[in-house]
């Protein structure tokens, strides 16, 4: 069995997908399979991918179609459903893994069975045509997602369920773990945490990581092992332009699923935001 399932959800990814695949080819850790789920792309993505695999003679590859173009959550889940490895490693069609990424992340989880997931720092890869005041401001704010966390003596950030009590929890940046490309986790935990939610568009990654934290410890390595690309066709930026907002759904999830884990101040805030009684009372006290 391949130790790692590298999952690549694809949708019209022809612009950068070959860079992503080349970064996999350069990994120092060889024991992996590749799962590519295509969400009905209408560009040349799949032809480029098939030609690449034919060129290098790769056989440990699974190409599947996410029939019906059901969206990002469904496409991520389609990858998980076809994965056979001990570990799951997402890498998006526009990101890259630096050479020792798999080796270092697998080594961490192999040596620490009490951790379910490990993430890492990432380095921004920028499209100069897309750099503007708004983008630069976003990059500056999100360059260090772990600025609120304390580093372990072994040079990683250890996160467990006590994080939900922290004052900074559910404040920006809400995702203090990292984007899917930064994460590797144990496949066995899918049975415990389930699949990605389909009703979220921008928050489905860190909502998923919260489920891991609720039942186990996770870690963030203090090392840039991923190149995270910022460009105009990026899914996050596309969703921001059309003003997709998951905030209300996430507020309900935190209130009802993490009520006894979060701090009292956040409980009261969410009570008035997401419950009928809270909204009714707020009319008389605001």
Q: Are both 136 and 56 inside the same structural domain?
A: yes
Whether residue 19 lies inside any domain: the answer is: yes
**Distance of alpha carbon 51 from its chain centroid, rounded?**
28
Q: Are both 241 and 285 inside the same structural domain?
A: no
Three-state DSSP at 285 gives helix
Q: Are both 34 and 171 inside the same structural domain?
A: yes
Q: Are both 241 and 269 inside the same structural domain?
A: no
CATH number at residue 18: 3.90.550.10
The contacts of residue 65 (CB under 8 Å, 6+ apart) are 37, 38, 40
Looking at per-residue pLDDT, the higher value among 236 and 207 belongs to: 207
Domain that holds residue 86: 4-245
Pairing of strands 61-65, 4-10: unpaired
Residue 241 pLDDT > 70, yes or no?
A: no
Pairing of strands 32-38, 156-159: unpaired
Q: How confident is the model at residue 13 (pLDDT cuts 50, 70, 90)?
A: very high
What is the distance between the alpha carbons of residues 28 and 225, in angstroms, rounded to a whole number? 12
Whether residue 250 lies inside any domain: the answer is: no
Whether residue 253 lies inside any domain: the answer is: no
DSSP class of 213: H
What percent of the chain is modeled with pLDDT above 90?
A: 81
Helix 204-215, helix 72-82: angle, nearest 10: 50
Residue 244 pLDDT > 60, yes or no?
A: no
Q: Are both 225 and 286 inside the same structural domain?
A: no
Whether residue 48 lies inside any domain: the answer is: yes
Tokens coding 160: 């467990």
- In order of 26, 90, 146, 150, the CA distances from 153 in angstroms are 30, 27, 15, 10
Q: Are both 100 and 216 inside the same structural domain?
A: yes
Question: How many domains would you assign to the chain?
Answer: 2
Q: How confident is the model at residue 69 (pLDDT cuts 50, 70, 90)?
A: low
Helix residue spans in the chain (DSSP H):
17-25, 45-56, 72-82, 101-111, 133-142, 190-193, 204-215, 235-241, 247-257, 264-274, 276-285
Q: Which of 73, 67, 10 is nearest to 41 (CA)?
A: 10
The angle formed by the CA atoms of residues 18, 21 and 27, to the nearest 5 degrees, is 145
- The model's pLDDT over 157-167, given as tens digits with 9 standing for 90+, comes to 999 999 999 99
Whether residue 216 lies inside any domain: the answer is: yes
The contacts of residue 61 (CB under 8 Å, 6+ apart) are 33, 34, 36, 53
Q: Are both 187 and 227 inside the same structural domain?
A: yes
Mean pLDDT of 153-157: 88
Q: CB 103: neighbour CB atoms within 10 A?
A: 14
Q: Are both 175 and 269 inside the same structural domain?
A: no
Q: Are both 127 and 262 inside the same structural domain?
A: no
The angle formed by the CA atoms of residues 196, 75 and 210, to the nearest 5 degrees, is 20
Half-sphere exposure of 279 (CA within 13 A, CB side): 4
Contact (Cβ atoms closer than 8 angstroms) between residue 67 and residue 38: no
Q: Are both 36 and 91 inside the same structural domain?
A: yes
Whether residue 24 lies inside any domain: the answer is: yes
Helix 247-257, helix 264-274: angle, nearest 10: 120
Residue 235 pLDDT > 70, yes or no?
A: no
- The model's pLDDT over 261-281, given as tens digits with 9 standing for 90+, comes to 999 999 999 999 999 999 999
* Predicted pLDDT of residue 239: 45
- The model's pLDDT over 217-228, given as tens digits with 9 standing for 90+, comes to 999 999 999 999
Tokens coding 215: 């039942």
Q: Are both 18 and 114 inside the same structural domain?
A: yes
Q: Are both 64 and 106 inside the same structural domain?
A: yes
Residue 284 pLDDT > 90, yes or no?
A: no
Mean pLDDT of 43-57: 94
Q: How confident is the model at residue 205 (pLDDT cuts 50, 70, 90)?
A: very high
Residue 91 pLDDT > 50, yes or no?
A: yes
pTM: 0.94
Residue 237 pLDDT > 50, yes or no?
A: no
Contact (Cβ atoms closer than 8 angstroms) between residue 125 and residue 96: yes
């Amino acid at each position: 069995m391949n130790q790692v399932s590298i999952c690549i959800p694809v949708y019209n990814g022809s612009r950068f997908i070959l860079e992503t695949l080349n970064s996999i080819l350069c990994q120092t850790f060889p024991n992996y399979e590749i799962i590519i789920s295509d969400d009905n792309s209408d560009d040349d993505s799949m032809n480029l991918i098939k030609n690449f695999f034919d060129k290098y003679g790769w056989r440990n590859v699974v190409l599947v179609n996410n029939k019906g173009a059901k969206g990002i959550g469904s496409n991520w889940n389609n990858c998980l459903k076809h994965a056979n490895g001990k570990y799951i490693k997402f890498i998006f069609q526009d990101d890259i893994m630096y050479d020792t990424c798999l080796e270092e992340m697998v080594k961490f989880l192999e040596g620490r069975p009490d951790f379910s997931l490990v993430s890492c720092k990432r380095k921004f890869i920028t499209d100069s045509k897309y750099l503007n005041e708004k983008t630069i401001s976003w990059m500056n704010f999100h360059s260090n997602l772990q600025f609120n966390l304390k580093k372990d003596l072994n040079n990683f950030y250890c996160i467990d369920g006590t994080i939900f009590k922290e004052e900074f929890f559910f404040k920006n940046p809400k995702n203090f773990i990292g984007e899917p490309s930064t994460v590797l986790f144990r496949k066995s935990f899918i049975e415990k945490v389930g699949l990605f939610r389909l009703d979220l568009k921008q928050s489905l990654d860190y909502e998923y990581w919260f489920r891991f934290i609720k039942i186990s410890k996770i870690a963030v390595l203090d090392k840039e092992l991923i190149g995270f690309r910022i460009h105009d066709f990026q899914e996050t930026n596309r969703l921001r332009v059309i003003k997709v907002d998951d905030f209300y759904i996430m507020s309900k999830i935190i209130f009802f699923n993490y009520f006894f884990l979060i701090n009292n101040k956040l409980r009261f805030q969410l009570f008035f935001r997401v419950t009928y009684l809270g909204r009714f009372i707020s009319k008389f006290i605001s």
